[in-house]
Homo-oligomer: A and B are copies of this chain.
Amino acid sequence: MGADDKVYRLLNYKNLLNRLKSIGFVKVFSDNLADTLDISPSLVRKDFREFGIRGAQKGGYTIEAVLIKINEVLGIDKKHKIIIVGAGRIGQALMHFPGFRKEGIIVSAGFDTDPEKIDGQTDIPIFHIKELTDYIKKNNIKLAILTVPENAAMGCLDMMEVGGVKGILNFTSMNLKSLKVAINNVNIGNEIENLIFTITKK
């Protein structure tokens, strides 16, 4: 998890700083961030230094400046199009999740095999899966969410690789691997089982 851990930590900083900002805070100290995130203040400072975020020797860090820098480092200062492959229950839940838009993530289309689900007229159009590769190429799509049944996962991965997708958030329990595409697995069953372990063994 090495380098990834640091990214998640930056995202935690970002989310917390956004919250503090919305309350009206302007500056923040490494101690504040460390306390709420359960890490040491020196780690906060080390992280910030690594990304060229500098504070004042006494006055702490300016929230706005840190946020700008973190967004720049994470690459989320720009808009990013994403497609959803499999417009079933979670697929559609994600499709209309308002939380994405305010982070600059734009769901541009969905794909499915079921003719009942296909509809090019809706705000977010749902196309037939056979148009997937073409759509990716034509619209220069780099990101996808995969929410098809497990047995369809590999086939969809192939099509996305051909189209030129670079990152996939995989919700199927199929543990996909690829040399061409970065795959991030979200396994909700695992999360619950991890919780079961915690409450029974700790």
Contact = CB atoms under 8 A, between A and B. Distances in A.
B192 A82 contact: yes
A190 B197 CA distance: 24
Given A11-B193, A89-B93, A194-B7, A143 B199 contact: yes
A200 B5 CA distance: 17
| Majority-rule SS of A interface residues | helix
B192 A100 contact: yes
- How large, as a class, is the contact surface on chain A? 35 or more
Contacts of A40: none
A63 B83 CA distance: 38
Contacts of A189: 99-100, 103, 105
A89 B100 contact: no
A8 B194 contact: yes
Contacts of A195: 143, 167-169, 182, 184
A43 interface: no
A186 interface: yes
A93 B80 CA distance: 25
A196 interface: yes
A169 B192 contact: yes
A39 B179 CA distance: 17
A57 to B, nearest CB: 29
A166 B195 CA distance: 9
A68 interface: no
A95 B117 CA distance: 21
Contacts of A90: 90, 93, 97
